[in-house]
Chains A and B, each alone.
Chain A
Amino acid sequence: MSFGAWLELIASGLITGGVYALVALGLNLQYGLMRILNIAHGEFLMLGAFAAWLAYTYLGVSPLLTAPIVFVLMVVLGLLIHRLAFRRLAATSPDLDVFEARGLMVAFGLMFLVQNFASLVWGGELRGYDYLTDPVSVGGAQFAANKLLLAAVALAVSVALIVVLRRSLLGKGVRALMQSPVGAQLVGIDTARLHPLMFGIGLGLSGLAGSLLSMTYAISPAIGEPYTVTALIVITLGGFGSMTGSLVAALALGVIEALGTHFGSPSLKPLLSYGLFIAVLLWKPNGLFKR
């Protein structure tokens, strides 16, 4: 394979990785911070995708505009869900393990609820639209404009989150909460406000990702689950709660998959991802990058 083709392959892997990073952000906040393994994550992504599709097809609104609106709406939805379900769980669970397990089950129920709601409303067929699909030439290689945009947004949001978490007071509060919930409360951090906010932002991020993804991928009520799995794999590789880890892991995963499908075939891709996932969970449960 020519040198140019190699570059193209790796670049394409990095871009896919960027997409993975975007998808994983929301879940990372929810699990890393709050130990809520929201396996309905992909379903909210799907809702975001449908919202953007509806806005584009019926109102002619660009998904770039719809995405921030969807973000805000999903944050509100997240606050609501947290209040209705997870707050009670936090209050009634005897310890963190039980809270995690129950949280998982509630998310399970949410997954069924949201997916079938979408199926009821929109039916099972594939929908899609084209936005910014024109190829862009970057140094002799061709990439779709919307894919580049996705990767750019993913990078930007990831970096923004990392910066906020490191530098701002809010960010310090969040990190304190991740390290020790009780300790954080003792020093006066308002956990009762922070929890729902973080959950909401997590949901908002998945909705945002979904809206942007609809530019380039076909959508149907069933698309949620594979994204949840991808997000899960990414945050596992990167270490739960680590934004940097998740970004690096996502990019790495994208490149590994691109190389794997080149040398083998796309059939190997799921074997690679799941294999890596299980290997990491068994031998380095804290992620590949945690010290």
Chain B
Amino acid sequence: MSTPPSSTRRSTVQALAAGAAGLAVPSLARSQSAPVRVGYAIARTGPWAGGAQVSQEPNFLMWAEQQNAAGGLDVKGTRRRIELVSFDDRSEIETCIRSYEKLMGSDKVDLILPPWGSNANFALAPLANRFGYPMLAPTALSRKLIDMHLPYFFSLLQQPDRMMGALVDMLVANGVKTIAILYMDDLFGLENFAALNAALKKTDIRVVERKGYPLGVKDLAPVLRTIKDQNPDAFIGITYPPDTILASKQSKEIGFNPKLFYASVGTAFQLYRNVLGAGAEGVSGMGSWNAATSPGAKAYFQAHTAKFGGKEPDRWASGHCWAGLEILTQAVAKVGLDRKAIRDYVAKNEHKTIIGPVRFEGSENVATPGSVGQWQNGEFEVVWPRSIATAQLVMPKPAWK
């Protein structure tokens, strides 16, 4: 991708001007109190806001606050205040891209933080790559993103094959013989569905029903009744928060009580426990950490709930988001604000984070294993794999309350 001559000329002129200004007023240009400008666009309104305001933006705000409380972000030994420059992308890709064009192109911030969701990250990743800004994305999940081989893009979440592989291993280890699958008709749903089928091929588990459903579905009761009639051991839902809640509520309505009830996204949210109440007990989903995972995780959890008035981070992406911020912090402390150096640091090292070690091969985080969580006594415990589990899987799930 070549830059057109006019922008090269423009940036040369700007560089010369900056250089001249720097020479003219050396103290201002080299001031140690110059803040580190960190820019991002995130959904504060629109359909993405629910996820973004639970898993992502609160972490950005808390990170900046914590760093500044310690005197600022450690840039190779010097502490510099973090200044957040942010926009509401309204859950619109166009607005999102435009905000980042402003941040990277004209505002020329020092660092960027990623937006929420696969769609926005798809649109941003090539752009950030072109501008040379590293991106550690905690809510971008698609093998297609990894396959774009963008050197400046890093995805923190475990890819579908890992998550589904872990789920299937757990099913096999617990003697599950029959399952029914309900999946969402979109990129996330379809990729996980494909990964699930691939993992199931190597087992003896029989799939009694496979049903897809469209975005924005209002009523899952008919399909749940069909599934209930087949009496599978386990129900595997590859669903988003609104459908996760809908499927849970409607399963209760029709008296569908499989031994294992798994709904992928949304179960890790505090929202799920709030809405379902006692009914959340025993429900499983995608989750990879909680306060018991490590002392760092516990400190993070407590700081989060304290700062946001009891609002808890979710037990999946929030943790990965914080881990990404930890990695960024470590990188800047080590190599400063040279974005290429940051990228190299992130790509070549294994990092210690609250969710455990994180290491990248290309854009993929290969160190965090796929995992499964389950609500037990008001906490979403990690129940698989045993290496990072905080509790044992409880099966069968108690009947809906």
Contact = CB atoms under 8 A, between A and B. Distances in A.
Interface of A: 1-2, 5, 8-9, 12-13, 16, 119, 123-126, 128, 130, 133, 135, 142-144, 147, 216-218, 222, 226, 257-258, 261-262, 265-267, 269-270
Given A124-B50, A218-B245, A226-B218, A9 B252 contact: no
B-side interface mostly: helix
A12 B216 CA distance: 20
B292 to A, nearest CB: 28
Contact of A267 (B213, B218, B221): B213
B219 interface: yes
Interface of B: 45-47, 49-50, 53, 91, 185, 211-214, 216-223, 225-226, 229, 241-242, 245-246, 249-250, 252-255, 271, 275, 277
Given A123-B45, A135-B254, A261 B246 contact: no
B50 A218 contact: no
B212 A142 contact: no
Contacts of B254: 8, 12, 135, 142-143
Given A1-B229, A226-B216, 20 more contacts: A1-B226, A9-B225, A12-B221, A12-B225, A125-B49, A125-B53, A130-B249, A133-B253, A135-B254, A143-B254, A257-B222, A261-B226, A262-B226, A265-B211, A265-B213, A266-B212, A266-B213, A266-B220, A266-B223, A267-B214
A113 B136 CA distance: 38
Contacts of B255: 135, 142
Contacts of B221: 12, 16
Nearest to B91: A124
A133 B212 CA distance: 26
Given A142-B254, A217-B218, A262 B223 contact: yes
Contacts of B229: 1-2, 5
A128 to B, nearest CB: 6
Given A143-B253, A144-B253, A261-B222, A128 B50 contact: no
A98 B382 CA distance: 62
Contact of B245 (A5, A8, A119, A128): A128
Contacts of B226: 1, 5, 9, 261-262
Nearest to A137: B255
A257 B229 CA distance: 18
B225 A222 contact: no
A265 B242 contact: no
A20 to B, nearest CB: 10
Contacts of A267: 185, 211-214
Nearest to A145: B253
B214 A269 contact: yes
Given A135-B253, A142-B254, A218 B223 contact: no
Contacts of A124: 45-47, 49-50, 91
The 10 closest A-B pairs by CB, nearest first: A266-B213, A144-B253, A265-B211, A124-B49, A142-B255, A267-B212, A5-B229, A258-B222, A261-B222, A125-B50
Given A9-B226, A135-B253, A222 B47 contact: yes
A269 B216 CA distance: 11
